[in-house]
Amino acid sequence: MSQATWNPAQYLSVMSWAMFSTTITSILLALIFFPFTNLGAYLVGWPLGLSITVNVILFIASSLARRDQYVSVSLTAEGIRYTDESESYRRNELLRASDIKNIRVRRNPFFKSLTIDMKGNNQRFFLSNVSLTDTFLAEAGALISGGPSNAPQTDPS
């Protein structure tokens, strides 16, 4: 069956943009406070404010992209296996297909996030910065809607 895991390549991409933004902000700050140039009047307004804002946004996105580093979601015959192997929060749960309301993937400007909504208790399971196979959502939808008998079958020949 298919599996959804944390995407390290996308995390490194967001983190590299955050580091690049930090470099630009540092250069702007250095030019403002460098005593031999008169660039402070030109850089103190919107260029510095924009640079700091972009820097903050990118670091928040990179921390969110790293949040679920040890989480994986696997499709099984009984439902969906949600595993979190982080040091302080060990969790291994089987989410039965009959208890799952829906499963969806949301795309933000930086990465995709997987959300699993449960029926009874309005509980949600998340996986930020997810890497999915092409058939994961189709297989999960088939599993939720009708169980393993409605899942796509492979030709044995």
Contact 48, 29 (CB under 8 A): yes
78 and 138 in a single domain? The answer is yes
Q: What is the pLDDT of residue 41?
A: 62
Judgement on whether residues 42 and 110 belong to the same structural domain of the protein: no
CA torsion, ordered 9, 15, 19, 20, to nearest 10 deg:
60
Model's pTM, two decimal places?
A: 0.76
At residue 151, the pLDDT reads 42
Cα–Cα distance, 48 to 33 (Å, whole number): 12
Q: What's the CATH number where 87 sits?
A: 2.30.29
Rounded-to-integer distance, Cα 107 and Cα 105, Å: 7
In this prediction, residue 35 carries a pLDDT of 65
- Do 83 and 59 fall into the same domain? no
Total tally of structural domains belonging to the chain: 2
- 66, 87, 103 - which closes a domain: 66
18 and 36 fall within a common domain: yes
| 102 vs 32, higher pLDDT | 102
45 assigned to some structural domain: yes
Confidence class for position 1, pLDDT limits 50, 70, 90? low
- Kindly state whether residues 82 and 141 are assigned to the same domain: yes
Are the C-beta atoms of residues 70 and 84 closer than 8 Å to each other? yes
**pLDDT value of position 14:** 94
Residue 116 class from Cβ within 10 Å (0-12 exposed, 13-18 middle, 19+ buried)?
A: buried
Count H helices and E strands in the chain, helices first.
4, 8
d(CA 129, CA 113): 5
Cα-only R_g, the chain: 22
In terms of domains, do 108 and 122 share one? yes
Q: How far apart are CA 106 and CA 122, in angstroms?
A: 18
Which residues make beta-bridge pairs with 91?
84
- 94 plus 143 within the same structural domain: yes
**Same domain, yes or no: 117 and 57:** no
What is the pLDDT at residue 122? 82
- Considering only 9-23, 45-59, 135-149, which range has the smallest mean pLDDT? 135-149
Same domain, 77 and 140: yes
Give tens-digit pLDDT for 82-93. 998 888 888 888
156 in any annotated domain: no
Q: Are residues 99 and 116 in the same domain?
A: yes
Q: Tell whether 51 and 81 lie within a shared domain.
A: no
Residues 75, 141: one domain?
yes
Burial readout 19-33 (b: 16 or more C-beta within 10 A, e: otherwise): eebeeebeebeeebe
Per-residue pLDDT, 148 = 45
- Return the pLDDT at 56: 95
| 98-153 tens-digit pLDDT | 888 888 999 989 999 999 999 888 889 989 999 988 888 888 888 888 744 444 33
User: Which domain, by its residues, includes 139?
Assistant: 71-147
